[in-house]
Structure 1
Amino acid sequence: MSEIKISALGGVRENGKNMYIVEVGDEIFILDCGLKYPENELLGIDTVIPDFEYLRQNSEKIVGVFLTHGHADAIGALPYFVSEFNVPVFGSELTIALAKITCENDSISKKFKDFHVINAETEIDFESATVSFFSTTHSVPESLGIVVKTKQGNIVYTGDFKFDQTASAGYQTDFGRLAEIGKEGVLALLSDSANAENPAEPVDEHVIADLINETMEYHQGRVIVACVASNLLRVQQVFDAAAASDRKVTLTGFDAEKVVNTALKMKKLHLPKKGMLVKPAEMDKVSPEKLVILETGRAGEPLKSLYRMATGKYKGINLAEGDLAFITTTPSHAMDTKVAKTRDMIYRAGAEVKAISDEYNSSGHASKRDLQLLINLLHPQYLVPIQGEYRLMSAHAESAEQVGIKPQNIFLLKNGDVLEYAKNKMIIGSSIDAGNTMIDGSGIGDIGNIVLRDRKVLSDDGIFIAVVTIDRKKHKIIDAPKITSRGFVFVKASRDLMTESASIVTKVVQDNLDNKEFDWSHLKQDIRENLNHYLYEQTHRHPVILPIIMEVNQHRHYKKKKPVADK
């Protein structure tokens, strides 16, 4: 039997959805509980969370969920998790506060109360292991790495991190603690790979702060800042720059006020000047050269908001000549097309665009040099690159080999792979269920591959509907087939196609009615196959074909009632 098992329910070979499992003996330690936002092919899907099936099967072994920081990729799946599992959740003061905000939007998860605030000095003893923490640098304060101390050595999970020697209080990495962990002996290191491919070193945050200050000072009109709500470091830099240029700030966007006000109350953010926050309803009273609109949200939401502002679809705010759209978030490469379209629409509206990424390499994730420095501090026996697509994990592995990690000691896992440590050796052993659970509106997990495939087909080729009414007893068609289409062809310009399709349906239905072994499913399948062959022949497209067969009986006999005599 394996002494230690390490597996990923999410977070490897993808961006976000971080959820890792460390099993020591009969105890399961869950590291982060995140979500990811869908790529374009997941039509209509709001978010994607890990599949909890393995945890359901082993719920009695779970001792807790340990959170590294307050971003959606680490805490976003918590509302769904705590609705099912009654286990304690541990995190720093701010991380727990943001986790509670995340859980407030769900009627079940908002009742969950088993949150525990910890810090970098905390140690929690369990039967098989001790869990401790260390301070890291990220774009949200109080980010922590996690150490699961076992008899065989430490298992270290970095969460999202980078090294910045100029980081301010609340954002600083504890290098001394890292060195101590390394001296104790690190069995396995689960390390952030999100920026491993970038050869350029990210600039220090004070350089970014100077750029934001300069932008605010010299622009003569409104500045609309696009920023992720939970990137509190960037929000503070905007507040500081606005105060320095004597500007007021209006908060807009998803959960903006809730997140910012929570951080202000906890003194994780501060306002350099009193009265500098202005309600959206009152911003028209502030002259444009004295106003900053801070548009926040989740992941790509601030950019989508800029797009709506540029096209006149954002309530209360339209971009116009003299405005500057200032993009202070660094979108993923998957959003490149959306960013380009947004820039184009902003310029069409007469405004200007400026982005931090145009001038500097800015990231909240470790560079190649940071990753190598971490390895040299910890000296792990095994390395598990996480948090990133395969090419990023592979770049991380290559960097690790350059500082002496043997290739056979580096594991590029897939979600569901299980690393097993037994007899002083780590190997990829069994696998566990680790699929995606789709969140679509109020539906959780009710959207599968078949539904997504149908949505994809509908988006590509549309739908083709054939309605026909039959009398099965008389073996005849009562009403000629009615053909309609949406998203396939323009009906008025395709009368011949529709007429021929109706004829095909008529023939197929009549052939089936004449068959003594009539079968409903066989009839519908025949219609689909014949129409699909014809439509592809004519259009080289495959619409979703929906046959609707209605049955009537025209020969119902009713007994005539005898008239009742008047009394």
Structure 2
Amino acid sequence: MTDVKFFALGGLDENGKNSYVLEIENDIFVVNYGTKVPIVSSYGIDTLIPDYDYLKQQSKRIKGIFITDTKNDSLSGLPWLMMEIPDIPIYCSFFSKEPILERMSKYNINPKQIKINILSEEGIKINNTIIKSIPLAGALPGTIGFSFTIKEGSYLFLSNFVDGDLGVYGKTDLNNIKKNYPKIIGLFLDSGMSNFNGKSSQKIDITKELEQIFSETPKTERIIIGAYDQEMATLHQVLDMALKYDRDIVTYGRSYHQLLELLHKNNPNLKLPKILDYKYISKHDNNVVIIVSGTVERLFKRFVRITENNDVYLKFNKTDHFVMIAPPINGQETESSYVLDEIARITPKITDISEDKFYQCRPTKQDIIDVVNILKPKYFLPIQGLFRYLSVAIREVSNSGFSQSRCVILQNGKLVHFKGDELVSQKGRISNVGDIIIDGFGIGDISREVIFERETLVRDGVIIVSVLTNKKNKKIYDDIDIKYIGVITSEERDEVDEIIKNNLVSIYNKIILNDDQQLKVNSTQFQNLLKKSIRKKVFELTNKEPMIVVSFTEI
């Protein structure tokens, strides 16, 4: 019977840093090696990568690193790993090869040292294991899954995909996957968005929101789009809308521009709007769409630079129409709110397509249920997300009829052991699992305890409250915007909304409007009092003590 072990170096009970290890007999196969943005990105901490000590110790057994896609949380830790363990073969799709080489070049890694292999559906055989790619639909072209087939059956990895057909961004055919892999022992499935109902393919369409903006914006006024550069499938809806309304495109973000060029190179018949040079933005006609893009950790910083008039090429105008398609990840809520506030000082024409309207190209609840029920694996192992969402995935799959005894939920470093096609143990654990802290191009020296404290803080979530006040009379406008990150269920939301609004208005009227002449506090004391009061009320209802961010904007 074949001896198979699986564990994660990152990606379980966290967002990002995805890296999974499958050991088949004496061979090690690594799936992805990504990064994670710190909860609080300060004190020189740029990013976190998985601890590679185990891989260094076992480097002679590693047969390859298999990259599903070129998103940061799947790929971006690779340069540091390659510096430590050179000459490891890399396997990826045809589209992913150039972005991988581009990323490596930023770190002065010798191209001759990089061994990139295009893995096809026909696959390769390494000792007694056959490895094949599985075409998937995703945010980026060339998104693939992987199958590792031994004599007893197959182990499948599926992540960052949509169950459906996204044209040039790929197609996921579950029935074909089932046909090709009739006996799946273990299904490792992206389950980090299991808390979102429905199917993601039905939720990633934002053409209705875009149509309204494009139809109402005069030809003499620009449309500014803010988005993460790796959400290409979503941004393609912007390109289609630009074609429909005869607007040229300015891509203000190097990575997205390069990805778009690569997409067109591989699909020469693809119809795209005219792409203009960003260096001459100020000289272009106003009938343009400017796509300001960046990585998760860089996008909002780019907007801050522009709003503060510190950007060389781009300045915002009071007639610009802004569309933000970049929901902040945990820890970036304050930065995101600040950016939107600063833009509001320039123009009130802002549309924020936030998390409740925008969905990433990742499987949601119904996708996960469908994938498990169609592929019918012997064991289901949710990966790539916070523990509570991996638990939701198991609960929903079990409710659909899949045996809960065949669902396995793990945390980083926890090892599951198979013999042939049977799970024999979940008691093992590897050491040296955690974060490596990166500052710039090198390894930082911020203590792990600091990171741990920040991670613990975010577990109770964040509530962001945005308040508009009248500049003249200081009174609050009725439309108080409240966003929740990992705090409460949708059933509790209306009640919590009401509690927060009533509490905020009451304290604001007493202190800021001086209805209560006994209370004389400064702005910092007011903010602290407000946050403490909201946190206490939310705790009474939800038994959680979230971080509270309150933003006031005068108009």
Shorter-chain-normalised TM-score: which range? Answer: 0.7 to 0.9
Deviates more, 1:203-212 or 1:406-415: 203-212
- Residues 348-395 of structure 1: CA deviation (Å, up to 9, x unaligned): 222421133377352311111100000011111212111111111111
Deviates more, 1:199-208 or 1:420-429: 199-208
Matched to 1:417, the amino acid is: K
Matched to 1:63, the amino acid is: K
- 2:216 aligns to what? 218
- State the distance in 2 between where 1:6 and 1:144 align: 20
1:103 to partner: Cα distance: 0.8
- State the distance in 2 between where 1:455 and 1:406 align: 36
- 2:24 aligns to what? 24
- State the distance in 2 between where 1:144 and 1:397 align: 23
- Residues 446-489 of structure 1: CA deviation (Å, up to 9, x unaligned): 44337879999xxxxxxxxxxxxxxxxxxxxxxxxxxxxxxxxx
CA contact (8 A) 2:373 2:402 kept: no
Q: Secondary structure at the match of 2:206?
A: helix
- 1:122 aligns to what? 122
CA contact (8 A) 1:213 1:242 kept: no
1:326 to partner: Cα distance: 1.0
- 2:97 aligns to what? 96
Matched to 2:195, the amino acid is: E
- Residues 286-321 of structure 1: CA deviation (Å, up to 9, x unaligned): 232x01111111114333323333333333323231
- State the distance in 2 between where 1:206 and 1:73 align: 20
Q: Secondary structure at the match of 1:73?
A: helix
Aligned: 1:299 with 2:296? yes
Aligned: 1:384 with 2:385? no
- Residues 260-280 of structure 1: CA deviation (Å, up to 9, x unaligned): 33333333894534xx22222
- State the distance in 1 between where 2:148 and 2:454 align: 43
Q: Secondary structure at the match of 1:427?
A: strand
Q: Secondary structure at the match of 2:35?
A: coil
Matched to 1:208, the amino acid is: I
- 1:156 aligns to what? 156
Q: 1:327 aligns with which of 324, 327, 330?
A: 324
- 1:541 aligns to what? none
Q: Secondary structure at the match of 2:332?
A: helix
- 2:75 aligns to what? 75
CA distance 1:452–1:194, shift in 2 (3 Å)? closer
CA contact (8 A) 2:175 2:374 kept: no
- State the distance in 1 between where 2:82 and 2:342 align: 41
- 1:338 aligns to what? 335
- 1:265 aligns to what? 265
- State the distance in 1 between where 2:148 and 2:116 align: 19
Q: 1:355 aligns with which of 344, 352, 355?
A: 352
CA distance 1:269–1:447, shift in 2 (3 Å)? farther
Q: Secondary structure at the match of 1:82?
A: helix
Q: Secondary structure at the match of 1:437?
A: strand
Q: Secondary structure at the match of 1:255?
A: helix
Q: Secondary structure at the match of 2:55?
A: helix
CA contact (8 A) 2:6 2:22 kept: yes
- 1:189 aligns to what? 187
1:210 to partner: Cα distance: 4.8
Aligned: 1:232 with 2:232? yes
Aligned: 1:442 with 2:441? yes
Aligned: 1:372 with 2:369? yes
- 1:315 aligns to what? 312
CA distance 1:110–1:258, shift in 2 (3 Å)? farther
CA contact (8 A) 1:311 1:318 kept: no
Q: Secondary structure at the match of 2:167?
A: coil
CA contact (8 A) 1:191 1:384 kept: yes
Would you say how many aligned residue pairs link Structure 1 and Structure 2? 450
1:11 to partner: Cα distance: 0.8
CA contact (8 A) 2:28 2:61 kept: yes
1:5 to partner: Cα distance: 0.2
- Residues 162-190 of structure 1: CA deviation (Å, up to 9, x unaligned): 213x522442112232222452x111111
- State the distance in 2 between where 1:239 and 1:111 align: 37
- State the distance in 1 between where 2:128 and 2:156 align: 16
CA distance 1:137–1:117, shift in 2 (3 Å)? same
Matched to 1:251, the amino acid is: T
Query: Any gaps of 5 or more consecutive residues in structure 2?
Result: 456-555
- State the distance in 2 between where 1:269 and 1:344 align: 41
- Residues 496-525 of structure 1: CA deviation (Å, up to 9, x unaligned): xxxxxxxxxxxxxxxxxxxxxxxxxxxxxx
- 1:66 aligns to what? 66
Matched to 2:92, the amino acid is: G
CA contact (8 A) 1:12 1:415 kept: yes
Q: Secondary structure at the match of 2:195?
A: coil
CA contact (8 A) 1:141 1:268 kept: no
CA contact (8 A) 2:6 2:416 kept: yes
- 1:143 aligns to what? 143
TM normalised by structure 1 equals 0.74
- State the distance in 1 between where 2:454 and 2:4 align: 42
- 1:243 aligns to what? 243
Q: Secondary structure at the match of 1:418?
A: strand
CA distance 1:215–1:232, shift in 2 (3 Å)? same
Matched to 1:306, the amino acid is: F
- State the distance in 1 between where 2:320 and 2:87 align: 49
Aligned: 1:282 with 2:280? yes
- State the distance in 2 between where 1:400 and 1:451 align: 36
Q: Secondary structure at the match of 2:354?
A: helix
CA distance 1:391–1:452, shift in 2 (3 Å)? closer
Aligned: 1:49 with 2:46? no
CA distance 1:194–1:454, shift in 2 (3 Å)? closer
1:211 to partner: Cα distance: 3.7
TM normalised by structure 2 equals 0.75
RMSD value, Cα: 2.7
What pairs with 1:32-43 in structure 2 (closer than 5 Å)? 32-40=32-40, 43=43
1:144 to partner: Cα distance: 0.8
CA distance 1:46–1:406, shift in 2 (3 Å)? same
Q: Secondary structure at the match of 1:357?
A: coil
- State the distance in 1 between where 2:390 and 2:45 align: 26
CA contact (8 A) 2:9 2:413 kept: yes
Matched to 2:275, the amino acid is: L
- 2:177 aligns to what? 178
- State the distance in 1 between where 2:254 and 2:4 align: 41
Matched to 1:363, the amino acid is: Q
CA contact (8 A) 1:306 1:325 kept: no
- 1:465 aligns to what? none
- Residues 396-421 of structure 1: CA deviation (Å, up to 9, x unaligned): 11112112333332222111111111
CA contact (8 A) 1:224 1:325 kept: yes
- State the distance in 2 between where 1:138 and 1:454 align: 34
Matched to 1:252, the amino acid is: Y
Q: Secondary structure at the match of 1:369?
A: helix
- State the distance in 1 between where 2:70 and 2:231 align: 9
- State the distance in 1 between where 2:330 and 2:126 align: 41
CA contact (8 A) 1:35 1:48 kept: yes
Matched to 1:282, the amino acid is: Y
Q: Secondary structure at the match of 2:9?
A: strand
Q: Secondary structure at the match of 1:283?
A: helix
- State the distance in 2 between where 1:295 and 1:268 align: 24
Matched to 1:196, the amino acid is: S
1:93 to partner: Cα distance: 0.9
Q: 1:402 aligns with which of 396, 399, 404?
A: 399
CA distance 1:411–1:80, shift in 2 (3 Å)? same
CA distance 1:322–1:200, shift in 2 (3 Å)? farther
1:247 to partner: Cα distance: 1.5
